[in-house]
Amino acid sequence: MANLMKKFINLIFLYFPALILSCTTPQTRFIQDFDHGSLGAMEEIHPNYFKGKTEHWIKRDSIGDQYYWFYFKASQAAGKTLTFELNDLMGVYRGNTHLVYTDYTQPVFSYDQENWERIPDVAYDSATHTFIFKQAFEKEPVWIAYAHPYPYGRLEKILQKVRGHPDAKQESLAQTAEGRGIELITITDPDRPDADKKTIFLMAVQHAGEDAGAYLLEGLIDFLLSEDPGAQQVRENFIFKIIPMMNPDGIFNGITRYNTAMEDLNNIWLDDSRAQPEVTGVKNWMDRWYDSGNRIDLFIDVHNHTQFHTYHAFIFQDHSIDSLVTVMNRYWPIRIWHSEFEGSSCAWFYQKGIPSGTIELSQGRINEGPYLTIDDYLEYGKGTAKGITEYFNDL
């Protein structure tokens, strides 16, 4: 009996201060109901210690389980050090176990959704697939995400630049299930004959949550529309066709990888039985483009391989564009990776005889270097434009 009483008294001393604190300190709350927001169930198990999980998204055919993306807003966080424990961090990709969190995964936070900082205090338990991160916050509200978010609303800022430039135009290739447009941007000097120009086609964010690719294309577009003399020369000699956001529904709804039909857009290009409006719209446009006597000289699909890999790669099937990667590597660090494509956009373009490849960006860091920023990805976009034009000019 004495031992029981002693344990009871110890419990009182252990939890009573926390109870008093919880009654006097406003409780931190989380919101994910906004553009690109996502978070699973989260519970405060101790004062300022939250335990939960990311939202798991199950693929339409039930052989995919994607889980890594989170992006939420915290209120009543100022002056607090918050700890987050995320569990169940194991998914499925193409029927195989999919793991992306590591002990060097660093989420980001922002007080204005524009300027982002990394969270370095992290730990990952590979046995339990548990990820813990902790950060002291000075202001509120604060937004916290797996990596630098690229919300659907940012696309409109790009389109506004396009509408105001004489060498650019915009057209919608399709409407998504929720009515968002698949927007194609064309950048070229209309006073120069198109027949003498190379045509470069790029797209990004087929997979929601792979946001760095959208920043790369934004940087590329910003350079092409700039007053830089090099950009003017590019517009005179090239036609750039750019889809900055292939999966706007997935982005807006905070889905990891899939669209709202829970389909992986990059796995269905060679399978019409799984058709989705995003992909069908691009394929129909391609048919019209070719039927009009035009061509495409290079296709690039921009993706991310999360924060797990600490390098950038350009992936393609053969050795036909090895020298392109060599040139691009002069502007930003990217390596060659040869791989077969299974049902992807690159496979579809490759079958049409178009040199095709996928850029895979790290959302973390390169080797042991500093963690990447939005400015890095924007600069990669500029370097990509320069590398492509230098490559074709040297042919």
Q: Are residues 141 and 177 in the same domain?
A: no
Lowest mean pLDDT across 18-27, 83-92, 208-217, 333-342: 18-27
Beta bridge partners of 371: 365
Strands 356-361 and 313-316, by their bridges, are: antiparallel
15 falls within a domain: no
The CATH number given to whatever domain includes residue 86 is: 2.60.40.3120
Find out whether 137 and 79 touch, Cβ atoms under 8 Å.
yes
One DSSP character per residue, 5-62 reads HHHHHHHHHHHHHHHHHHHHSPPPEEE--STT-B---EEEEETTEEEE-PPPEE-TTS
The helix/strand/coil state of 203 is strand
Last residue of a domain, one of 95, 119, 145: 145
- The answer to whether residue 4 scores a pLDDT higher than 80 is no
173-211 pLDDT tens trace: 999 999 999 999 999 999 999 999 999 999 999 999 999
Six token digits for residue 221: 């577009």
Q: Please tell me the total count of domains within the chain.
A: 2
Q: Are residues 127 and 212 in the same domain?
A: no
Q: Are residues 293 and 206 in the same domain?
A: yes
Report the candidate in 315, 107, 134, 152 with the shortest Cα–Cα distance to residue 245: 152
- The answer to whether residue 21 scores a pLDDT higher than 50 is no
Q: Are residues 215 and 349 in the same domain?
A: yes
Query: In degrees rounded to 5, what are phi and psi of residue 110?
Result: -155, 150
Q: Other C-beta atoms within 10 Å of 212: how many?
A: 28
Q: What is the pLDDT at residue 9? A: 46
Q: Are residues 233 and 328 in the same domain?
A: yes
Q: Are residues 213 and 192 in the same domain?
A: yes
395 — pLDDT class (breaks 50, 70, 90)? confident
Give this prediction's pTM: 0.93
The CATH number given to whatever domain includes residue 260 is: 3.40.630.10
Q: What is the pLDDT at residue 289? A: 97
313 falls within a domain: yes
- The answer to whether residue 20 scores a pLDDT higher than 50 is no
Q: What is the pLDDT at residue 24? A: 58
Say if residue 141 is preceded by a cis peptide, omega within 30 of 0.
yes
Residue 87: which domain range?
24-145
Q: Are residues 166 and 120 in the same domain?
A: no
Q: Are residues 236 and 256 in the same domain?
A: yes
3 falls within a domain: no
Beta bridge partners of 137: 80
203-251 pLDDT tens trace: 999 999 999 999 999 999 999 999 999 999 999 999 999 999 999 999 9
22 — pLDDT class (breaks 50, 70, 90)? very low
Of the chain, the percentage scoring pLDDT greater than 90 comes to 91
CB-based contacts of 12, cutoff 8 Å, min separation 6: none
Last residue of a domain, one of 112, 145, 178: 145
Give the separation between CA 213 and CA 155, rounded to whole angstroms.
13
193: alpha, beta or left? (left if phi > 0; alpha if psi -120 to 50): beta
Give the separation between CA 93 and CA 127, rounded to whole angstroms.
19
306 falls within a domain: yes
Q: Are residues 196 and 337 in the same domain?
A: yes
80 — pLDDT class (breaks 50, 70, 90)? very high
10 falls within a domain: no
Q: What is the pLDDT at residue 70? A: 98
Give the separation between CA 183 and CA 246, rounded to whole angstroms.
8
Q: Are residues 202 and 326 in the same domain?
A: yes
Q: Are residues 107 and 160 in the same domain?
A: no
Specify the residue for token string 């966080």.
77
One DSSP character per residue, 79-115 reads TEEEEEEE----EEETTEEE----TT---EEESSSSS
Last residue of a domain, one of 117, 145, 173: 145
13 falls within a domain: no
Q: Are residues 165 and 111 in the same domain?
A: no
| Residue environment code for 149-185, b if the CB has 16+ CB neighbours within 10 A, otherwise e | bbbbebbeebbeebeebebbeeeebbebeeebbbbbb
Most confident of 18-22, 92-96, 108-112, 341-345: 108-112
